[in-house]
Amino acid sequence: MWTILWHKDLGDIDPWREWYLAQNAQVRARHDVVFDYLLTRQAHEWRKPFAKRFEGDSIEITIHTNVQHRLLGIYGPGKMQFSVLVACTHKGPVYDPKDAKKTLKRRIREFRDNPNEVMACERPKRS
């Protein structure tokens, strides 16, 4: 089973849970479908429509709703671990936040220098 880690944007507060709770019911439901699929598969099985290679060796987890949510990150630091480094939305060439790709590159460098930049999170899902 996978362990999902998130960049420590919020200190000791679980960033995955905070992101999830900030979403509407449609996004939460789609999130649950995506992670039900991904967390039961090996990395080589992470593919469209749920995930794909992004830039370099990063991965884009895609949550398709009216607004296209993206969770950008990389595998690691350990086996069966995935680290979410940026949560954003995407439509056409526009990302929100607009510097999401630049932030991802910076956080990958930081992560490789210090894997403690991420924290293990408990998967949120509908009750």
Domain locations along the chain: 3-120
Q: Is the pLDDT of residue 10 over 70?
A: no
Q: What are the tens digits of pLDDT across the range 54-99?
A: 988 999 999 999 889 999 999 999 999 999 999 999 988 899 999 9
Q: Are 3 and 117 in contact (CB under 8 A)?
A: no
Q: Can you list the alpha helix ranges (DSSP code H) found in the chain?
A: 15-21, 25-38, 100-113
Q: What are the tens digits of pLDDT across the range 99-118?
A: 999 999 999 999 999 988 88
CATH 3.80.10 corresponds to the domain 3-120? no
Where does residue 81 rank: exposed (0-12), middle (13-18), buried (19+ CB within 10 A)? Answer: middle
Q: Is the pLDDT of residue 4 over 70?
A: yes
Q: Is the pLDDT of residue 13 over 70?
A: yes
Q: Is the pLDDT of residue 127 over 70?
A: no
pTM score, two decimals?
A: 0.92
Q: What are the tens digits of pLDDT across the range 82-94?
A: 999 999 999 888 9
